[in-house]
A and B are shown apart, each in its own frame.
Chain A
């Protein structure tokens, strides 16, 4: 039930910020469409802790702040590779790929990890299976940096701390 209320709040917020017209007619249209979307989502059984990770609401912004710094740094690296390749004749990139083993157990953690890898330019997560991620990197140093596992530890701290409550809600979330 909690997830349904949160979905309602998110959808209502999106409607209100995008419409800008607050006449009763349009507001009732908004209410109807929000309820309709919630009914469809309930029927698809996607209203649960995976689509709305409420347990992470306090820690996720901090992680995204950290990720944002990583994104800026890796953007500058890739830009340096591009301009370096344009103005000098020597090789600035060394594309390589490798399966990186991961110790993240939960699905949410793996998705977050692969998503973060893809968000930082210079590394792309191509395939995820039970205990490893296939990563393609623009430079070898980028791949090595990823293998040191700083990002993985951040996500581990984020998701494992409440893994107990996560599995519990996973069972009782048929709201």
Chain B
């Protein structure tokens, strides 16, 4: 009985994790500029990963695998902000330098920096490839 319950709970957690992974991927593809895409990637970094690992932990039972999964979760929790900060910093230091967009400005101003920023994204990806 308890095994069945654990199985269903872990299945639910895995499904939710997959859903948030998908959400992050769609956001990554659809958001207009580099910095917004980074936010979408943040969803896969945090909640989706944690849900999937929690689902796996439930079916791992009391074993060494449980501790290893917990360690993976801990390391992702500490390294993913570092990785996104490195990305943001390198973007800040090259062509994608963030212009100060004041909060008060209306959405009418939004499309312009978007169009401006979309070109350097591909340029930077090309630069990363080399």
A interface residues (Cβ-Cβ under 8 A, vs B): 14, 17-18, 20, 71-72, 75, 78-79, 81-83, 85-86, 91, 93-99, 114-115, 118-127, 134, 136, 138, 140, 143-144
Given contacts A82-B26, A82-B30, A97-B100, contact A127 B89 (CB under 8 A): yes
Does B64 contact A97, Cβ atoms closer than 8 Å? no
Which residues of B are interface residues toward A (Cβ below 8 A)? 20, 23-24, 26-27, 30-33, 35-36, 38-40, 42-43, 45-47, 64, 67-68, 71, 77, 80-81, 84-85, 88-89, 92, 98, 100-103, 105, 107, 110
Contact of B110 among A86, A95, A127 (CB under 8 A): A95
Q: Given A94-B110, A126-B88, A79 and B36 touching (CB < 8 A)? A: no
A127, closest chain B residue (CB): B92
Q: What residue of chain A has the Cβ atom nearest to residue B85's Cβ?
A: A118
List of A residues within 8 angstroms of B67 by Cβ:
17
Residue of B nearest to A96 (CB): B101
Residue in A20, A123, A126 whose CB lies within 8 Å of B64: A20
**Within the complex, what minimum Cβ distance (angstroms) separates A74 from chain B?**
9
Are A122 and B71 CB-contacts (below 8 A) given A95-B36, A97-B35, A140-B103?
Answer: no
**17 residue pairs bridging A and B, Cβ less than 8 Å apart:** A17-B67, A17-B68, A78-B39, A78-B42, A78-B43, A79-B23, A95-B101, A95-B110, A118-B81, A118-B85, A121-B39, A121-B40, A121-B43, A122-B39, A124-B88, A127-B89, A144-B103
